[in-house]
């Protein structure tokens, strides 16, 4: 067992063992590893419909988790993911908003912000352990980049294949809207829901592995726009511009504030559409191959172990089985009319 030694007063006996006469208290705290921290606050949440059981020593953790997933409902009867999150009572301010460091080997995944804020995921067991300071936990940037992505990446390894796309639907049949930054995913999504479409996801959704019904699940909590979107939709002009988790100026419109909006956590994907906005010619849908579409989808996804990558590729290929297209457009109304034709 390691024992603290006061170097100024320690003396050695004939056997080489050190003693510190007159000093009886340990120099280290009784639980330097925080191994025995009581995690008395517990609750279940349902990110993307999967059960997440959180145990923590702070009610603030449950409050933040409720902000992220409080509106989600259980959809899939699979074993819960277990998260043990220790609030480290440090008064240090939040570190600069640099992206956390992400690293992975085999079934383990690490996310680290600094020496006080880090977490480890065991993908095989569905377990997450993390230590965070109050300042980092309360920062929306780190809430997404650390807390949420530890959960989403664990679900991604176990059950789903994440796709960077918005998703809108009619009568349970959906279209995935993909594209690079600035391609107009959020604006076209908003134009669709204003026309009566159902919002399934604004920024990312996921295909469910091991199914043959092309099911897609999303998070219809809000729609985020670039500030210039207010010139297209005047009703956005009164909303404040804030810093988004990606660091870019953003207008965030809560789904609850969109009049008459219909939302759904699930739909069946009918097609995947890659957007090219501000095209000078007439609005057009151009079919592309499954291989081309897969390459585009996977270009900004993390690479996991070979077995996981293979299962995710199969799930994404199933979503593409009804076709993929490029949509070249400038006018929202014309684009929506053309998208309607993909739903049959």
What is the band of 178 on the pLDDT scale with cuts at 50, 70, 90?
A: very high
Question: How far is 164 from 296, CA to CA, in rounded Å?
Answer: 10
- Mean pLDDT on 73-78: 94
Question: What domains, with CATH codes, occur in the chain?
Answer: 41-158 (no CATH), 162-341 (3.40.50)
Reported confidence tier of residue 2, pLDDT bands at 50, 70, 90: very low
SS3 helix, strand, coil % of the chain, rounded to 5?
25, 30, 40
Asked whether residue 191 carries a pLDDT value surpassing 70, the answer given is: yes
Confidence label for 73 from pLDDT (cuts 50, 70 and 90): very high
The owner of tokens 């929202």 is: 332
Max Cα distance, the chain (Å): 93
pLDDT confidence band for 95 (50 / 70 / 90) = confident
Which residue would you say has higher pLDDT here, 5 or 105?
105
pLDDT value for 23? 46
Spatial separation of the C-alpha atoms in residues 168 and 98, rounded to whole Å: 32
pLDDT at 281: 79
pLDDT at 9: 40
User: What pLDDT is attached to residue 7?
Assistant: 38
Kindly tell me if the per-residue pLDDT of 170 is higher than 60.
yes
Mean pLDDT value of segment 262-273: 95
pLDDT at 332 over 70: yes
More confident site: 55 or 239: 55
Q: What pLDDT, on the 0 to 100 scale, is given for residue 11? A: 42
Residues 304 and 103: beta-carbon distance below 8 Å? no
Provide φ and ψ at 269, rounded to 5°. Answer: -75, 125
* Cβ pair 341, 303 in contact under 8 A: no
Q: How far apart are CA 53 and CA 84, in angstroms?
A: 8
Average pLDDT over residues 34-41: 90
Q: Are 194 and 160 in contact (CB under 8 A)?
A: no
Is residue 103 over pLDDT 90?
A: yes
Average pLDDT over residues 195-208: 94
Give the three-class secondary structure for 42.
strand
Closest CA to 47 of 150, 118, 193, 195: 150
Mean pLDDT of the chain: 87
Nearest in space to 193 (alpha carbons), one of 164, 158, 162, 220: 220
Burial of 102 (0-12, 13-18, 19+ CB in 10 A): middle
Coil, strand or helix: which one is 147?
A: helix
Question: For the residues 116-137, what does the mean pLDDT come to?
Answer: 95
pLDDT attached to residue 227: 87
The rounded distance, in Å, linking the Cα atoms of 339 and 168 is 10
Per-residue b or e along 146-159, where b marks 16 or more CB atoms closer than 10 Å to that residue's CB: bbbbbbbbbbbbbb
Single pTM value for the model: 0.85
Counting other chains too, the contacts that 306-310 makes at CB distance below 8 Å and 24 or more residues apart are: 308/123, 308/157
Return the pLDDT at 36. 84
Q: Which of 6-10, 59-63, 224-228, 279-283 has the highest average model confidence (pLDDT)?
A: 59-63
Assess contact for 216 and 270: CB atoms under 8 A.
no
Q: Are 4 and 26 in contact (CB under 8 A)?
A: yes
At 141, is the pLDDT very low, low, confident or very high (cuts 50, 70, 90)?
Answer: confident
- Count of CB atoms situated within 10 Å of the CB of 235: 13
Tokens for 226, please give them. 């670039």
Does the pLDDT of residue 12 top 80, yes or no? no
Q: Is the pLDDT of residue 293 over 60?
A: yes
Q: Is the pLDDT assigned to residue 26 strictly greater than 90?
A: no
Q: Is the confidence at residue 245, as pLDDT, over 70?
A: no
Q: Which residue has the higher pLDDT, 40 or 231?
A: 40
Is the dihedral angle over the CA atoms 313, 217, 48, 240 positive or is it negative?
A: positive
């Amino acid at each position: 067992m390691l024992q603290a030694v006061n170097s100024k007063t320690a003396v050695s006996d004939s056997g080489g063992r050190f003693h510190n006469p007159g000093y009886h208290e340990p120099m280290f705290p009784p639980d330097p590893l925080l191994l025995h921290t009581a995690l008395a606050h517990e609750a279940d949440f349902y990110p993307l419909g999967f059960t997440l059981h959180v145990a923590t020593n702070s009610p603030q953790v449950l409050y933040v988790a409720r902000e992220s997933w409080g509106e989600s409902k259980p959809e899939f009867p699979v074993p819960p993911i277990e998260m043990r999150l220790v609030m480290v009572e440090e008064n240090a301010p939040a570190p600069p908003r640099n992206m956390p460091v992400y690293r992975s080997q085999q079934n383990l995944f690490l996310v680290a912000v600094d020496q006080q804020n880090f977490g480890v995921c065991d993908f095989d067991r569905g377990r997450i352990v993390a230590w965070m300071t109050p300042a980092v936990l309360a920062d929306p940037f780190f809430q997404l980049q650390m807390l949420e992505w530890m959960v989403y990446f664990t679900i991604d390894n176990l059950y789903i294949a994440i796709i960077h796309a918005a998703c809108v639907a009619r009568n349970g049949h959906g279209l995935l809207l993909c594209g690079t930054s600035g391609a107009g995913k959020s604006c076209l999504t908003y134009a669709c829901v204003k026309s009566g479409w159902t919002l399934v996801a604004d920024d990312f959704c996921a295909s469910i592995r091991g199914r043959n019904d092309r099911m897609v699940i999303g998070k219809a909590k809000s729609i985020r726009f670039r500030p210039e979107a207010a010139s297209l939709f005047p009703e956005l002009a009164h909303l404040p511009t804030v810093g988004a988790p990606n660091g870019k100026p953003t207008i965030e419109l809560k789904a609850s504030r969109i009049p008459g909006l219909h939302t759904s956590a699930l739909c069946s994907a009918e097609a995947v559409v890659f957007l090219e906005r501000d095209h000078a010619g007439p609005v057009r849908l151009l079919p592309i191959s499954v291989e081309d579409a897969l390459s585009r989808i996977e270009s900004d996804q993390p690479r996991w172990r070979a077995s996981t990558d293979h299962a995710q590729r199969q799930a994404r290929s199933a979503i593409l089985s009804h076709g993929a297209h490029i949509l070249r457009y400038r006018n929202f109304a014309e684009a929506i009319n053309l998208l309607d034709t993909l739903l049959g």
